[in-house]
Amino acid sequence: MSEALITVALVWVAVSGTAVVLTRDPLRQAFTAGFFGLALAFLYLSLQAGDVALSQIVVGAIALPLIALLSLAKVRKDQE
């Protein structure tokens, strides 16, 4: 059971990590990066590292996309 879970998590990390690299538009990349962070958190959780998983969620799925989105909004406003 746990091996199946770890396999799913690893495949999810590989797919979403590749998706981040292949996304060229920074706005969409902020979202794919958020999903990549979630995938990593799921991987850590499947390996029973609850503390690291929580840290990963708060940094990867909250802080990083938020700062990326606000920076993009600022750049876009300056271009207008």
Partner 1 sequence: MSRRVRLMLFAVAAAGLAATLGVGLAGLPSFGAQITDYARMLNEMAPRQRHVTDVVSAITFDYRGIDTLFEEFILLAAVAGISVLLRPLSDEIRQLPRDKAPERSIPPPSPAVWLLAAFLSSLLVLTGLETVTHGTLTPGGGFQGGVILASALYVVYLGTNYVTVERFQPDALLEASDGVGASGYILIGLLGLLAGAHFLSNVVGLGATGSPISGGTIPLLNLVVGAEVAGGFAILASEFLDQTAVIRTRRR
- Residues of this chain that interact with partner 1 (CB under 8 A) are 50-51, 53-55, 57-59, 62-63, 66-67, 70-71, 73-74, 77-78
Shortest Å, Cβ 18 to partner 1: 20
State the amino acid at position 66 in one-letter form: L
Shortest Å, Cβ 62 to partner 1: 5
What's the token pair of residue 4?
């199946």
Q: Cα angle at 62 between 46 and 66, to 5 degrees?
A: 150
Shortest Å, Cβ 58 to partner 1: 4
- How crowded is residue 25: how many other Cβ atoms within 10 Å of its Cβ? 10
